[in-house]
Amino acid sequence: MNANDSMCVLRERKQQAFNAACCDFVINHDIEAIARKLELNGTMLRNMLNPNQPHVLKPVVLASISRVSGDYSIVNTLFADDGVVTVPLPEVEGELNFLQRVLKLNAHSGELSSDALAMCTAERLPRSKKRKTLAKAQAALGNLVLLINDLEHRTTGLQPLVQMGTDFLANGAPMPGLA
């Protein structure tokens, strides 16, 4: 019986968090513009995001509005208690090299550290500040995923062997017959 009670409490808490995330989404985004991109009626989309309306936000519509807006806060709210975080990969405008990506990651980390320090001294944390900090963390995670992807591509196949060989020769390795 206790398992059923705790499951209902979890369900209620998750529903409240979902409702709050939907309300925040409506406040932070132009719903009419998103609806036009998805070829939906703006009022219908707004009603889907309103917990007081009978319209239900379906998973396909949720995925579409997240992709169009670039805001995955509703999805992350749903998965938060399960230990899962979605990471949108940023659009790569120009290929950054490994060092630039590491420096960008350090910049994101510095901003998050600054926010954390400000939160420690604040009496209360407004939802808008929380959402902005989460957006910075998402950007840092997206950059980190691209950094990991870059590392994976650098360490597979024949390329690392060729790079090591050229580094070995360039650094003064004796060549047979020429020494």
Q: Which of 120, 164, 138 is nearest to 69 (CA)?
A: 138
The answer to whether residue 157 scores a pLDDT higher than 60 is: no
- Per DSSP, helices labelled H in 55-126 are 59-69, 73-79, 98-121
Rounded CA separation 18/49 (Å): 10
Q: Give the pLDDT band (50/70/90) at residue 1.
A: very low
Task: Pick from 17-21, 30-34, 132-136 the range whose average pLDDT is largest.
Answer: 30-34
* Mean pLDDT computed over every residue of the chain: 79
The answer to whether residue 6 scores a pLDDT higher than 80 is: no
The answer to whether residue 92 scores a pLDDT higher than 70 is: no
Q: Helices 127-154 and 98-121 meet at what angle, rounded to 10?
A: 160
Q: What is the arithmetic mean of pLDDT over 119-125? A: 83
Task: Pick from 24-33, 96-105, 129-138 the range whose average pLDDT is largest.
Answer: 24-33
Residue 142, Cβ neighbours under 10 Å: how many? 16
Phi, psi of 145 (to 5 degrees): -65, -40
Pick 14 or 4 by higher pLDDT: 14
Q: How big is the chain, counted in residues?
A: 179
The answer to whether residue 178 scores a pLDDT higher than 90 is: no
Q: What is the arithmetic mean of pLDDT over 34-61? A: 91
